[in-house]
Structure 1
Amino acid sequence: MAMRRALCLFLSGLLAAGTAEAQTRFSAIPRAKAGGAFIYPLTVVTKNNLDFGYIAVNGAGTVVVNPNTSVRSVTGGVLALGGRPQPATFLGAARSASVVIIRVPKSPITIRRVGGTETMTVQNFTLQGQDKRTLARMEAFEFNVGATLVVNANQAEGVYTGEFDVTVQYP
């Protein structure tokens, strides 16, 4: 009798398991993602790169990206065509209550055409807000940097890239 009871319980368990597996399951499409960035206090990281967007050239001119409004403007023989013009964005964090000083380049930098030797100049780097900022303990901060791209009259078509340094002086 004990064997029969055990067999009945076993079969009941199988039937219950079969019923649960027969239920329809759906997963979210697309799958959800999770992420984040971790930075140590007293560091600065690049969130977005400075991008002047797409332009056409009919003559010499400039392209300016404003760090306060993220607006791009053009002068001379330069025509704005679209793209995603934006200032460079940086993130930092302070370990203790402190004053930080942000420094952008004072001298022009040269950017070079990918796959070529042609160059353009980026100058007049500008900072969003004040260069001296007071931070609370464990406070994160973010700031934008804009600049002016100098376009030559017969500028070769292509993608131009270069690098510039932004520094933050912590106490």
Structure 2
Amino acid sequence: MDIRTLIIAAGLLAAAAPVAAAPTAPNQNATGKALILVPLTLTKIDDLSFGSIVPSSVSGVVAIDATTGARTVAGGVTGIASDPGNRAYFAGGGSPSQTVIITMTQPAQLTSIAGDTIPLLALTLQGSPIKIIDPVTRTFFFGIGGIIIVNADQPEGIYGATFTVTANYQ
């Protein structure tokens, strides 16, 4: 019994003996990293406006181009040149080359304070709904246009509606 105890003790003493360190080169370099995240933003610059128009006894259409902001009138509608309307314009920011998907909710109509309505045929987005954030400026821009149908003898008034624009960052 005493012999076993000595053998175990001898094994523990051998394991506790110091080990010689291997030589290393002096002045080893290390690197550090940091990940900086840019806040994701979407800002409205301009509202969509169809401008001032004069209806007639014939229905007509007013369209605002999403890319240029130019207004087109057709049918029994006359556009007032001093108020030609404009596209809605948005700017966004985020990480370089990040993909952003733009979606919109379209109201069915524009409504006046008196409760009269003008049907909103469509909201149109400039280009593809998939936007890529510029790698240098870290921004992206896009316009939204639309098409309304002005009824024959449409009552006068200021018509409006709200639509939501969402940027889904991928």
TM over 0.5: yes
Who is 2:39 aligned against? 41
Q: Deviations over 1:6-58 (max 9, x none)?
A: xxxxxxxxxxxxxxxxxxxxxxxxxxxxxxxxxx8322121100011110001
Write the letter of the residue equivalent to 1:141. Answer: F
Partners of 1:75 and 1:138 lie apart in 2 by 40
How far 1:95 sits from its partner (Å)? Answer: 3.3
Partners of 1:104 and 1:152 lie apart in 2 by 25
Who is 1:14 aligned against? none
Write the letter of the residue equivalent to 1:162. Answer: A
The answer for unaligned runs of 5 or more in structure 1 is 1-39
Write the letter of the residue equivalent to 1:90. Answer: F
User: Is the Cα contact below 8 Å between 1:94 and 1:137 reproduced in 2?
Assistant: no
User: Is the Cα contact below 8 Å between 1:48 and 1:87 reproduced in 2?
Assistant: yes
User: What is the DSSP-based 3-state SS (H/G/I as helix, E as strand, rest coil) of the residue aligned with 2:121?
Assistant: strand
Partners of 1:77 and 1:144 lie apart in 2 by 27
The answer for unaligned runs of 5 or more in structure 2 is 1-37
How far 1:100 sits from its partner (Å)? Answer: 0.6
Partners of 2:76 and 2:61 lie apart in 1 by 8
> Quick check: 1:51 aligned with 2:49?
yes
How do residues 8-157 of structure 1 correspond to structure 2 at under 5 angstroms? 41-58=39-56, 59-82=58-81, 83-95=83-95, 97-105=97-105, 107-114=106-113, 116-135=114-133, 136=135, 139-157=138-156
Partners of 2:127 and 2:52 lie apart in 1 by 27
In percent, how many aligned pairs have the same letter?
32
Write the letter of the residue equivalent to 1:88. Answer: A
User: What is the DSSP-based 3-state SS (H/G/I as helix, E as strand, rest coil) of the residue aligned with 2:131?
Assistant: strand
Question: Looking at CA atoms only, which structure, 1 or 2, has the larger radius of gyration?
Answer: 2
How far 1:96 sits from its partner (Å)? Answer: 5.0
* Alpha-carbon RMSD: 1.8
Q: Deviations over 1:110-168 (max 9, x none)?
A: 21113x11011223211112211222376111110000011111211011111111111
Distance 1:71 1:85, change over 3 A: same
